[in-house]
Amino acid sequence: MFHLAGLSRLSIASLAIGYAEPVGFSRWEIVLFLVLALASLSAFFARFSKVLVRIFESKKDPDFRLSPIARRVWDFVWEVMCQAKVIKERPLPGLAHAFVFWGFCAFALVTLNHFATGVGFPFLRSRTWVGGFYFWFAAAFAVLTAVSIAALFVRRLFVRPIWLGQKVSYESLFIAFLILALMVTYLGAFYVGASPGTIKALWWAHTLALLIFLPLIPHTKHLHLVLSPVTVFLKREGFSRIPPLAGDEDFGMVTGRDLTQIAALQAYSCVECGRCTEHCPAANTGKVLNPKEVILGLRGYLNELGPKSEEPLIGKHESLEALFQCTTCGSCEYQCPVGIQHLPMIIGMRRGAVNTGVWEDDYGTKLFLALEKNGNALGLSSSERDKFIAKQQFPIFDGTQEYCLWLGCMGGYDPQGREIIASFARVMEYLGTTYGVMKKEKCTGDPARRLGNDLVFQTLVEENLRNFEQNKVKRIVSICPHCVRTMAEDWKEYGVAPEIEHHSEFMARHQSRLPNKDTGETIVYHDPCYLGRYRGVYDQPRQVLALSGTVIDPPRARERSFCCGAGGGLAFLGEEQGERVSHNRAKELVETGAQVVGVACPFCNTMFRDALGATSEAPPKLLDIAQITALQLPQKVAARADG
Ligand code: SF4
Ligand code: SF4
């Protein structure tokens, strides 16, 4: 009893005393501290200044604008200060990382005071109200940081997710040890029984850990501690946006001279967490492409050769094969916690490879020729499209109708794409919406743009824009998320496209007037990359499908949806290496046990057509949301679904 009372008195005393400050530094101790601090800071800046020089010596980003500043501030607060992205995508390790980050923030003042104490000018005193509070506040974060870093240490050493790399990173383990040492030596100063000698020893141990840690930052991936807040703030506007070329002399990213400041900053900010790779459809199906290595390749190039080098980027540091395996699904950019934008770099290097003739691919050449000659990616004569329009009796757009119904290459030429268009036309007619189709529609240029052929892309865009202007088109609706994205965003470089929306958005807006008859079927919905991640449209297709059945999600859904393998022009290239991306996804869709796979993109549709049959003996039905809706319409609405 007496003992407990003593203990309780002790803890009250320790609460009153709090953080014990070291006293009585000798002149020699001060000199030693200053010499060590100077050495540490010099080692830090010796490396950090080189990184800064490489970033500043890189080419300026031609399209960079700081506005809108409010969006940048919001991203900074949300992604950096709140660590929201880090936590959302990997909740437990994310939270542990966030506590380490918040601990660092809380410790900024403590560290400054720590150094000021070493030269005899502490500005935080534990006996004052502010100092007393702040030391306890930092102590709370020290405990959370110590627990978190210990957990991350165990994860890296024993769990070792493959995305972090095959080998144990001793560098990361040592840094984790230093952070733990910083926390423990700080907390030790709260021990009420510690003698003045012990307190001073703790101060020195804490100082040494700090002075060893500081120069390691720019030499390791922990450089992200300094750079990533800036990277997040300065990242390019828009999601997976491809920056424009800076004139006729700009061939894309060919050598170090083509690396821009933003690209260099992003390359140095990579924390090597592997989140991009973990979600990459190419990396998940045995391809050479690994988005983390794309970024580290650029960093390696800058370290070795610098931004003034004329050496090609593709070769030792970047793999041509890998660059052309990217489906442009955008998962990497969506997942990256430090604001790295992979697609401007991947497409930038594709542009360089196409414009300098480094990329030679029979399928690619055939595709570009088809786009140039026939104006569509399937290489069919435009008379085939005319025949389809005549057979379906689609009205021709003449400026009087509400909508221009955009057929796209798939809707105009592909048999299954035609069925989707016919179904959607029935839905529009049922709703009483007037529409017409363009006589001389050309491909939006999406596959040329994503494969790096800006010349073909520009020609197609200009022809289409002229056509829209002549026909006074004001509003477009399309069944294809690739067309929607390309017209709404990529075309901006060459003019203003009419307002465009995806058919899922159109149908969701009119859902109260669409038939609502539950078929009793379960529909698993596959989020297309260009509708979900690129456009943020997740709920509308689900709302439309819910009119016809029970909608379920596969395990990888919404922002984490797994690509079908068609994007980035890959639908038109040859055989894939390793497992097919579409098969990987089809298996997941089949395993949900749904009777219907609901899609909202004609490219996903074409990819799953074979994949579902190849992965299941009794595959579920594959239907677009327009087809599912059209099946509910009264029979008297003219049947068009025979394509
Ligand atoms: S866009 Fe998709 S396919 Fe391309 S690197 Fe990123 S995650 Fe991989
Ligand atoms: S690019 Fe981003 S997501 Fe990928 S490893 Fe680097 S920091 Fe992580």
355 lines ligand 1 (CB under 6 A): no
Centre a 10 Å sphere on the Cβ of residue 316 and count the other Cβ atoms it contains.
Answer: 13
270 lines ligand 2 (CB under 6 A): yes
List pLDDT tens digits, range 48-66: 999 999 999 999 998 889 9
Ligand 2 center from residue 344 Cα (angstroms)? 15
Ligand 1 center from residue 567 Cα (angstroms)? 10
- Give the pLDDT band of residue 159 (cuts 50, 70, 90): confident
Mean pLDDT across the stretch 121-132?
A: 91
Mean pLDDT across the stretch 599-611?
A: 97
**Ligand nearest to C-alpha 279:** 1
Residue whose CA lies nearest to ligand 1 atom number 8: 280
- Cα 313 versus chain centre, distance: 22
Q: Count CA atoms closer than 13 A to 28's CA, side-chain side.
A: 0
> What distance in Å separates the CA atoms of residue 598 and residue 604, rounded to the nearest whole number?
10
Quote the pLDDT of residue 161. 79
339 lines ligand 2 (CB under 6 A): no
Residue whose CA lies nearest to ligand 2 atom number 6: 270
323 lines ligand 1 (CB under 6 A): no
Quote the pLDDT of residue 278. 94
Whether the Cβ atoms of residue 628 and residue 596 lie closer than 8 Å to each other: yes
Ligand 1 center from residue 194 Cα (angstroms)? 55
Q: CA dist 620 to 76, 600, 604, 613, 642, Å?
A: 44, 16, 15, 9, 20
Whether the Cβ atoms of residue 428 and residue 458 lie closer than 8 Å to each other: no
287 lines ligand 1 (CB under 6 A): no
For the record, the structure tokens of 489 come out as 């965003």
Mean pLDDT of the chain: 93
Quote the pLDDT of residue 4. 38
**Ligand nearest to C-alpha 345:** 1
- Give the pLDDT band of residue 640 (cuts 50, 70, 90): low
Give all strands (DSSP E) within 284-436, no chain letters: 403-406, 435-436
pLDDT at 12 over 90: no
Q: Which of 585, 502, 586 is nearest to 544 (CA)?
A: 502
Quote the pLDDT of residue 90. 87
List pLDDT tens digits, range 399-414: 999 999 999 999 999 9
Quote the pLDDT of residue 1. 37
> What distance in Å separates the CA atoms of residue 6 and residue 12, rounded to the nearest whole number?
10
256 lines ligand 2 (CB under 6 A): no
Q: Which CATH architecture has domain 254-355?
A: Orthogonal Bundle (1.10)
Ligand 2 center from residue 295 Cα (angstroms)? 8
Ligand 2 center from residue 81 Cα (angstroms)? 18
Local structure of 202: helix, strand or coil: helix
Ligand 2 center from residue 20 Cα (angstroms)? 41
**Ligand nearest to C-alpha 280:** 1
From the alpha carbon of 296, which atom of ligand 2 is closest?
6
Ligand 1 center from residue 532 Cα (angstroms)? 15
Q: CA dist 162 to 221, 272, 316, 331, Å?
A: 18, 12, 24, 18
Phi-psi region of 12 (alpha: psi -120 to 50; beta: other; left: phi over 0): alpha
**Ligand nearest to C-alpha 271:** 2
Ligand 1 center from residue 394 Cα (angstroms)? 38
291 lines ligand 1 (CB under 6 A): yes
277 lines ligand 1 (CB under 6 A): no
151 lines ligand 1 (CB under 6 A): no
Domain ranges of the chain: 2-233, 254-355, 377-509, 512-630
Domains 377-509 and 512-630 share a fold: yes
pLDDT over 70, % of the chain: 96
Mean pLDDT across the stretch 456-480?
A: 97
To test the pocket of ligand 1, the residue of 287, 324, 327 to mutate (highest count of ligand atoms within 8 Å of its CB) is 327
Residue whose CA lies nearest to ligand 2 atom number 3: 336
Quote the pLDDT of residue 169. 77
pLDDT at 199 over 60: yes
> What is the sign, positive or negative, of the torsion defined by CA atoms of 80, 83, 86, 92?
positive
345 lines ligand 2 (CB under 6 A): no
Ligand 2 center from residue 264 Cα (angstroms)? 14
477 lines ligand 1 (CB under 6 A): no
Residue whose CA lies nearest to ligand 1 atom number 6: 332
156 lines ligand 1 (CB under 6 A): no
602 lines ligand 1 (CB under 6 A): no
List pLDDT tens digits, range 214-270: 999 999 999 999 999 999 999 999 999 999 998 888 999 999 999 999 999 999 999
Mean pLDDT across the stretch 458-486?
A: 97
Ligand 1 center from residue 276 Cα (angstroms)? 8
Quote the pLDDT of residue 140. 96
List pLDDT tens digits, range 32-50: 999 999 999 999 999 999 9
- Give the pLDDT band of residue 575 (cuts 50, 70, 90): confident
List pLDDT tens digits, range 531-552: 999 999 999 999 999 999 999 9
275 lines ligand 2 (CB under 6 A): yes
Mean pLDDT across the stretch 169-193?
A: 90
Quote the pLDDT of residue 9. 40
282 lines ligand 2 (CB under 6 A): no
To test the pocket of ligand 1, the residue of 266, 331, 350 to mutate (highest count of ligand atoms within 8 Å of its CB) is 331
290 lines ligand 1 (CB under 6 A): no
**Ligand nearest to C-alpha 291:** 1
Ligand 2 center from residue 339 Cα (angstroms)? 9
List pLDDT tens digits, range 339-389: 999 999 999 999 999 999 999 999 999 999 999 999 999 999 999 999 999
Ligand 2 center from residue 276 Cα (angstroms)? 6
pLDDT at 7 over 80: no
Domain 377-509 - what CATH class? alpha beta
Centre a 10 Å sphere on the Cβ of residue 71 and count the other Cβ atoms it contains.
Answer: 10
Q: Which of 611, 601, 476 is nearest to 537 (CA)?
A: 601
Q: Which of 639, 630, 584 is nearest to 611 (CA)?
A: 584
Ligand 2 center from residue 353 Cα (angstroms)? 24
What's the fold here for domain 512-630? Answer: Rossmann fold (3.40.50)
Ligand 1 center from residue 360 Cα (angstroms)? 21
In eight-state DSSP terms, residue 500 is E
